[in-house]
């Protein structure tokens, strides 16, 4: 078997530990590894994951077998470890499967193997106003894939970065975004211009201060990355403010667990509408992943609809919501910086809340351009650069 060609996910699986023994049981095959670990593999799991060219189309590396294509009670006729250390299974219906030990170990689902994989997953680094801002140079991002990767990892794990040395020609942001992927279009366009205007369809397009918020909480999927590129900034005021929404959620969880729970459990409606659109999304302010870790914050007071909760929940929700907003105003969390022409912010819009101080449009021009890219694209780009 040319194992490299058979791996369906373009990864390589180094040999962590050799297979030393294989024991057939009624519903599973139990293998032992040289380092003492024992991993059970149920029969349907093994048959389902057969990497042979009959089961996986070699051009697309996509599976053509569906597990219902084999009998539910299919069992091995014989199992053995071959001379190259692979697990070999001859099935009772005549099919043969052969598993690379590196691949098998990487997908073992005994408790130890699962815990190991879980521990190896990337973790968010929480921050407060003492954050040493990750800053990158545009020319280096363009020329050095390793610097590019460092930027993307900072976006994934810290959620706030600045890029400098970006030309102030309008539209340049599209070139920057392309370093990661295509842009996520919205009703505000592909690139949007942040300028004060008379017929504003969002408070973002006024000279008001904007409280800490995520963009487009009105969409089922909030944009993952937000870019804000400064072209001109001659106006007084308008400083950017950032807080780590995950750090605030974490602090709330410790300081007021009931308030934290309310924001995780009671959905809130966000909405955003103009003459041509009417978006509504009902979701909790804080979302947790399958392990109970905070995975998303959804917040924009100026885009929120009236709370719709039971009479019993309403005072709890208001208490929790007040508390959360009050925390976004605490100096300990707030990073305040003025963005200069040629600089851009790129941050995790589902984590890092952003705000803007009011500015005085009479004091000078102010023109930012912005765009969005989804988290899927960031994570994909990281995996490709890490290959």
Site for its own copies in 105-124 (CB under 8 A): 107, 109-111, 114, 117
208 is an interface residue for its own copies by CB under 8 A? yes
CA distance 201 to 128: 32
Q: Is 59 in the site for its own copies (CB under 8 A)?
A: yes
Q: Identify which of residues 186 and 343 has a Cβ nearer to its own copies in the complex.
A: 186
Interatomic CA distance for residues 245 and 350, integer angstroms:
8
Contact call for residue 330 and its own copies (CB under 8 A): no
Question: Site for its own copies (CB under 8 A): which residue of 83, 119, 258, 311?
Answer: 311
* Chain centroid offset of residue 15 CA: 29
Q: How far apart are CA 90 and CA 168, in angstroms?
A: 64
Provide, rounded to whole angstroms, the least separation between the CB of residue 246 and its own copies: 17
Interface pick for its own copies out of 9, 73, 132, 169 (rule CB under 8 A): 9
Residue 306 found at the interface with its own copies (CB under 8 A):
yes
293 contacts its own copies (rule: CB under 8 A): no
Beta strands in 27-81 (DSSP E): 28-33, 38-42, 56-57, 62-63, 76-81
Q: Which stretch binds its own copies (CB under 8 A): 54-62, 83-91, 145-153, 229-237?
A: 54-62
Q: At closest approach, how far in Å is the CB of 366 from its own copies?
A: 18
24-53 residues in contact with its own copies (CB under 8 A) are 27, 40, 42, 44-45, 48-49
Q: Is 156 in the site for its own copies (CB under 8 A)?
A: no
To which residue do tokens 């996986």 refer? Answer: 56
CB under 8 A: which stretch of 73-81, 86-94, 160-168, 176-184 binds its own copies?
176-184
Q: Where does this chain touch its own copies (CB under 8 A) — which range of 87-95, 276-284, 334-342, 360-368?
A: 276-284
Q: Is the dihedral of CA 211, 213, 219, 224 positive or negative?
A: positive
Name which of 131 and 174 has its Cβ closer to its own copies.
Answer: 174
Instruction: Give the other-Cβ count within 10 Å of 307's Cβ.
Output: 14
Minimum CB distance to its own copies, residue 116 (Å) = 12
Which two three-digit tokens encode residue 312?
């019993």
CA dihedral 215, 221, 227, 228 (to 10 degrees): -10
- Which one of 15-23, 147-155, 234-242, 318-326 is the stretch in contact with its own copies (CB under 8 A)? 318-326
Among candidate residues 125, 278, 302, 288, the one with its CA nearest the CA of residue 213: 302
- Joined tokens for residue 357: 């101080």
The two tokens of residue 40 are 């059970």
Could you identify the residue written with the tokens 């099919």? 95
17 is a site residue for its own copies (CB under 8 A): no
CA dist., res. 250 & res. 260, Å (int):
9
Binding to its own copies in span 249-268, by CB under 8 A: 267
Among positions 76, 79, 172, 184, the unique one binding its own copies when judged by CB under 8 A: 184
């Amino acid at each position: 078997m040319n194992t490299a060609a058979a791996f369906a996910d373009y990864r390589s699986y180094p040999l962590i530990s050799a297979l030393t023994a294989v024991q057939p049981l009624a519903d599973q095959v139990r293998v032992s590894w040289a380092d003492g670990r024992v991993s059970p593999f149920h029969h349907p799991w093994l048959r389902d994951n057969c990497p042979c060219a009959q089961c996986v189309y070699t051009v697309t590396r996509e599976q053509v077998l569906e597990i219902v294509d084999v009998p539910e009670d299919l069992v091995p006729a014989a199992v053995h470890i071959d001379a190259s250390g692979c697990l070999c299974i001859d099935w009772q219906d005549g099919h043969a499967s052969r598993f690379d030990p590196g691949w098998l170990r990487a997908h073992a689902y005994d408790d130890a193997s699962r815990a190991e994989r879980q521990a190896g997953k990337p973790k968010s680094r929480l921050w407060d106003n003492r954050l040493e801002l990750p800053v990158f140079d545009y020319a280096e991002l363009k020329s050095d894939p390793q610097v590019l990767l460092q930027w993307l990892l900072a976006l994934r794990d810290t959620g706030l970065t600045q890029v400098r040395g970006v030309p102030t020609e309008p539209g340049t942001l599209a070139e920057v975004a392309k370093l990661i992927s295509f842009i996520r279009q919205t009703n505000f366009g592909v690139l949007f211009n942040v300028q004060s205007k008379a017929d504003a369809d969002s408070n973002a397009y006024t000279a008001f201060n904007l409280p800490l918020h995520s963009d487009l909480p009105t969409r089922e999927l909030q944009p993952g990355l937000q870019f804000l590129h400064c072209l001109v900034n001659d106006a007084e005021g308008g400083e950017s403010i950032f807080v780590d929404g995950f750090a605030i959620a974490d602090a709330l969880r410790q300081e007021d667990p009931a308030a934290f729970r309310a924001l995780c459990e009671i959905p809130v409606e966000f909405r955003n509408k103009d003459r041509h659109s009417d978006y509504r999304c009902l979701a909790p302010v804080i979302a947790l992943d399958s392990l109970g870790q905070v995975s998303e914050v959804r917040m924009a007071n100026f885009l929120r609809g009236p709370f719709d909760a039971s009479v019993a929940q309403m005072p709890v929700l208001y208490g929790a919501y007040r508390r959360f907003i009050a925390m976004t105003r605490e100096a300990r969390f707030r990073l305040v910086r003025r963005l200069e022409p040629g600089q851009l912010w790129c941050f995790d819009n589902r984590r890092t809340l952003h705000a803007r101080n009011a500015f005085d449009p009479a004091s000078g021009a102010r023109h930012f351009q912005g765009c969005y890219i989804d988290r899927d694209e960031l994570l994909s780009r990281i995996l490709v650069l890490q290959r």
